[in-house]
Homo-oligomer: A and B are copies of this chain.
């Protein structure tokens, strides 16, 4: 039993389960409890593919979380945005909260349009820290809520933020073309997500209407003051299970070259343990599947910067980034629980 304890609310969805699996083998953090609306009462280990002796927890109902929150150092929320909004508020009275949903990422006025509900926790929203450590560093000790970034927003910001900051791109607009595997949509009992419908298909969805659009715009602006490009974001659904690639297009300033954009990325991510800068043609979903890594690379062609980022949507796009935030926030090694994951997986 380790000294620092964390709990998870929502451990039966894809992101929550991956996060629980990482925490079950974390050498510095102890997974103290896990809840699930659908699977309360069941043992957690078999759902994670873990031997029984690695994880002996039983899933509890969500309602158990508030009482247990008092005894842990942090709680991860892997719940829907609307549910997270209320839960985070309650739990943050007792402990630190890392929220995987979109409930604490935008300004209050944006919620009706992009998430379909009124935000009813505005002070907490204003104080929440956006947990993209490779750009914004560690969550401050005094923070109560860390908003874990969206999967597309993570990849898009990693691909574009340094290039705007280093004034290699004009700041009027950015085009972001996203491609994601189907776990990005969460667990679904829906014919649209059946093997028959998705295998051998590719299509755009929520064109001009995806909720990660304002998230990208907001945190790009926060990273590079004064820069507020119009963001056009088009996500596409692909026949793979895990993996997400974002291809971003920016208008190159005159002096931008492939060497300079690669140098800008390399300098930005020099100390980032989970971001690797590679030639643009070597950025691929295959190489990050099941790992906490992002691959980023860019080039300049026809006056346009093409910058591409690949991540595993459930890892750097959700669960491993949450653990990275926990590590930094709770004073662990940033790599703890994550450094033994990458493995050869053809």
- Chain A interface (Cβ within 8 Å of chain B)? 14, 17-18, 20-22, 25, 47-51, 54, 173, 175, 177, 179, 181-183, 187-191, 193-209, 213, 230-232, 234, 236, 238-243, 245, 247, 249, 251, 273, 280-281, 283-287, 289-291, 299-304, 306, 308, 310, 314, 339-346
Contacts and interface: CB of A to CB of B under 8 A. Distances in A.
Given A191-B188, A194-B194, A247-B234, A342 B49 contact: yes
Given A207-B308, A208-B306, A234-B306, 17 more contacts: A17-B346, A21-B344, A47-B344, A48-B344, A50-B343, A179-B179, A183-B346, A193-B196, A194-B195, A202-B243, A203-B281, A207-B280, A208-B299, A209-B301, A232-B303, A239-B239, A290-B343
A105 to B, nearest CB: 19
B232 A346 contact: no
Contacts of A290: 290, 343, 345
A17 B344 contact: yes
- Of listed A194, A273, A287, A306, residue having the most chain B CB within 10 A: A194
Nearest to A181: B200
B204 A247 contact: yes
A42 to B, nearest CB: 14
Contacts of A280: 204, 207
B20 A344 contact: yes
Contacts of A339: 51, 54
A346 B204 contact: no
Nearest to A19: B344
Contact of A51 (B205, B206, B342): B342
7 contacts: A21-B344, A189-B190, A190-B194, A202-B284, A207-B306, A230-B304, A238-B239
A49 B343 contact: yes
Nearest to A213: B302
A251 to B, nearest CB: 8
Nearest to A177: B177
Given A49-B287, A179-B236, A287-B49, A346 B202 contact: no
A343 B196 contact: no
B238 A202 contact: yes
